[in-house]
Amino acid sequence: MRSGLSRLSICFAGGCAGAVVNSLAVWGAGELHLTSRMGVRLAPAFTYEWLLPRVLWGGLWGLLFLLPLMTKRSLLLRGLIISLAPTLAQLFYFFPQAGRGMMGQSFGQLTPLFVLLANAVWGLTAAWWIRQSGVH
């Protein structure tokens, strides 16, 4: 059994790793014009200023893996379910706060689907990282 500090560190690191992979996926989708083909106007520039807050938030969201929710379920399934938390926060808090409308409607109608898929990438990557560490 790992100590609480080890578990906390691994879950934070898993969330950070998930955020890096998520960021690469979001940036890549913009670079390859996949988002514009979906009618979603999201194509961020891959900069330090864009990436750093995403990685920090990803690590914080990764701490949700410490909650004793669905511990009998597959860790990958837990990752997908936990990924709903940052998805809901993005759609119903961060986008409206940034003036992008509820669910990011100013980016296009399929923005909620894109955010859901991008955050699923985060959740699966974070769960994989955590599983590889032997925590769960």
Q: Give the DSSP per-residue string, 57-69.
A: HHHHHHGGGGS-S
The reported pLDDT for the residue numbered 4 is: 85
Phi, psi of 2 (to 5 degrees): -85, 155
The Cα–Cα gap between 98 and 101 comes to 8
**How many Cβ atoms are within 10 Å of 121's Cβ, its own excluded?**
19
Phi, psi of 29 (to 5 degrees): -65, -35
Report the residue count for the chain.
136
The reported pLDDT for the residue numbered 71 is: 72
The Cα–Cα gap between 132 and 51 comes to 24
Tokens 């990752």, residue?
A: 79
The angle subtended at Cα 127 by Cα 136 and Cα 32, nearest 5°, is 170
The reported pLDDT for the residue numbered 136 is: 60
pTM summary value: 0.91
Strand ranges (DSSP E) for 12-102? none
Alpha carbon of 106 to those of 41, 82, 100: distances in Å? 8, 26, 5
Instruction: Chunk the chain into consecutive blocks of 10 residues (it has 136) and report each block's average pLDDT, rounded to whole numbers.
Output: 85 98 97 96 95 98 90 87 97 96 95 98 97 80
Amino acid making up residue 76: L
